[in-house]
Amino acid sequence: MIAVVDYDTGNLRSVADALHRAGAEFTLTSDAAVLRRADRVILPGVGEASSAMEKLRERGLDAVLPTLTCPVLGICIGMQLLCLSSEEGDARCLGIFPARVRRLTPADPRLKIPHVGWDTIAGLQTPLFAEVAETSYVYYVHSFAAELCPATIATTDYGGGFSAALHRDNFYGTQFHPEKSGATGARIIQNFLTLR
């Protein structure tokens, strides 16, 4: 069973639609017992880091998520919450990935923040990116991003490099939205659903 974490941060519908397209059965839940029984867990989200962390704490999920042993995928703010901390709201996060989330500050002043739209990913590692070509395009909507670190498995350069994706143990994260990234995103979701 695939569990999609429902913690009142939006974006659940597009993730649900992507899972429907992949032919996957799933449940939306904030129930710790359901998450512990799941074969896969997806932590999506759109919003602000400190308030999103507060929503996890209100549901007791800040204690549950780090203990999961199944494959876990954080998407956008979901990935950021798996990092050490975020400058957005000075949030202390779950500490799974050894990275801090920082405000994007492109060296080129012509590059706008938030970073919205299609951009490329490179340096692809791990089976999450099986059959995904280097410099494939994915879809972003964000103003903050995880710094490059030993857990980085894909990068994007937007006036400076940042972690497009992270991996540590059974935890994965993408700053981009695979559910909005066309055929490339569909392949990444399918790869996640078949991770061993």
Tell me how far apart the alpha carbons of residues 44 and 24 are, in angstroms, rounded to a whole number.
16
Does residue 131 have an active-site annotation? no
Percent of the chain with pLDDT over 90: 94
Mean pLDDT of the chain: 96
Does residue 83 have an active-site annotation? no
**For 27-45, what is each residue's pLDDT tens digit?**
999 999 999 999 999 999 8
pLDDT at 61: 97
pLDDT at 71: 98
Statement: residue 10 has pLDDT above 80: no
The encoded tokens of residue 91 equal 């949030």
The catalytic residue among 76, 88, 115, 142 is 76
Tell me how far apart the alpha carbons of residues 49 and 62 are, in angstroms, rounded to a whole number.
13
Domains present along the chain, CATH in parentheses: 2-193 (3.40.50.880)
Calculate mean pLDDT across residues 105-133.
96
Please give the helix or strand (H or E) that residue 86 lies within, else none: strand 85-86
The catalytic residue among 115, 142, 167, 177 is 177
pLDDT at 20: 93
Does residue 70 have an active-site annotation? no
The model's confidence at residue 196, banded by pLDDT at 50, 70 and 90, is: confident
**For 125-146, what is each residue's pLDDT tens digit?**
999 999 999 999 999 999 999 9
Instruction: Pick the closest to residue 18 from 191, 179, 178 (CA basis).
Output: 179
The model's confidence at residue 111, banded by pLDDT at 50, 70 and 90, is: very high
